[in-house]
Amino acid sequence: MPSAIPALSFIKNPASLPDAPIYAVYGGEDYLRRRALAALIEILRTKRKLEIKRVRELEAASALLDDLRSPSMFGGGFAIVLANAREGNRQEPSTRFKEEFAAYIEKPSKRHVLVFEGVTWQRNLTVPKRVEEHFPTIVAEELKPWDARGWNELAAMQAREIGVELDPAAMAALRDTVGGNLATAQRELEKLALIAQDGRIRAEDIARSCGYEGVDVTFPLCDAILSGDSNAALQYAAKLAGKAEIGSVLSFLALVRLQVVALGRASLAMKAGDDAGQAAMKAAPRLRDNLRPGLIRTAKAIGRDDVARAVEVLIKADEDMKSSAPDPGALLVGVVARLCDILRQGEPGALARR
């Protein structure tokens, strides 16, 4: 059985892919899968001189497979790229037309090519299993949250294609800003390229020009609480509450508790005479540069008692989540409002009354 080729390895060296009558490109990392598919299509078009035909909806497999089996009247071959995706209760083509595709896999065309774009690709089912047993496949696996090296490599490749460079600090800032989303990183890099000086993007460019994206706003919510932006904190809390579950809220409570304690350390350090910038850096080293002044203002405004009250709110919320089963979203918004009030972000009591 041929081993699936990692998408990144294929993108680096697409010419190494052997000629075959059938291919599949699949995997959970959408951006990487689309990039690999685009590279495969380019190889089929330029190296093998095939006409590319896209099929996004398949009502019946017989006509498509008859086309593949038929010889070309004028000698030119073609490649059919079939979107293999499940939509609602409707199964993907490789499952709906299992018998027809299984028969074709046994005796594929010698001239034409079939490419499965595996948006849905259950490897234990008949057609995916047989394709992987006999033909080259490319897998775009989701990047693990701790795989900074793999993400950095892909982001650096994106930057080179756009014509810019990222220094290490900018790379880390971009990853934090987009939450590891490669498609969002591509869009942000295209915008940053317009303002890059000498083709270089720096961390301060990202802090100044990029906002948080994506569904998970846990980290920007923590940043908003620490930096004193109560309006943003409540907006992020409302967005997060819509999909809040017990596990996600417990994780948030633990994270923001660590952040509040760090804020307290910065406050004590400044009151002891430490430089504000150094105290803030030690307390929250990953806070984006454009948010650091807000953290310093908050740290200066609070005292030991405020930090103790904020931690007490978080501990009580944690206990409530584990014992009394409240509504996770409502608890989350209430905690954020109380934290903003305790940390004196705006008029005392104003947020709690909203």
Helix (H, G, I), strand (E, B) or coil at 52: strand
The pLDDT score that the predictor gives to residue 148 is 83
- Looking at the fold, whether 253 and 127 belong to one and the same domain comes out as no
95 and 195 share one domain: no
Q: Does residue 354 belong to any structural domain of this protein?
A: no
Q: Per the domain annotation, does 352 fall within a domain?
A: no
- Mean pLDDT (10-residue bins), the chain, 354 residues: 86 93 94 94 94 93 94 81 91 96 95 95 95 96 82 91 90 83 87 83 81 63 82 83 81 86 84 75 59 79 89 91 84 92 56 38
The reported pLDDT for the residue numbered 240 is: 80
The answer as to whether 184 is a domain residue is yes
Structural domain contains residue 347: no
201 and 222 share one domain: no
pTM: 0.59
In the prediction, which pLDDT does 123 show?
92
Same structural domain for residues 178 and 237? Answer: no
User: Within a domain: residue 119?
Assistant: yes
Cα 180 from chain centre: 4
Its domain, for residue 174, covers 148-209
The confidence score (pLDDT) of residue 286 equals: 54
Q: Locate tokens 């405020």: which residue?
A: 306
CATH code of residue 35: 3.40.50.300
User: Which of 175, 209, 243 delimits the end of a domain?
Assistant: 209
Please tell me whether residues 195 and 266 are part of one structural domain.
no
223 and 327: one domain? yes
Q: In terms of domains, do 49 and 13 share one?
A: yes
Say if residue 174 is in the same domain as residue 234: no
88/173 same-domain check: no
Domain boundary among 139, 164, 195: 139
Q: Which two tokens stand for residue 117?
A: 């774009």
Q: Are 126 and 154 within one domain?
A: no
130 and 22 housed in the same domain: yes
End position of a domain, from candidates 86, 112, 139: 139
3-state helix vs strand vs coil in the chain, percent to 5? 60, 10, 30
Cα–Cα dist 178/206, whole Å:
10
Cα separation of 72 and 305, whole Å?
81
| Residue 229 falls inside a structural domain | yes
Left (φ > 0), alpha (ψ -120 to 50) or beta: where does 236 sit?
A: alpha
Nearest to 76 by CA among 55, 54, 52, 56: 52
Domain count, the chain: 3
CA-based nearest residue to 237, from 348, 145, 328, 316: 328
Cα 273 off chain centre by: 41
For residues 200 and 105, membership in a common domain is answered with no
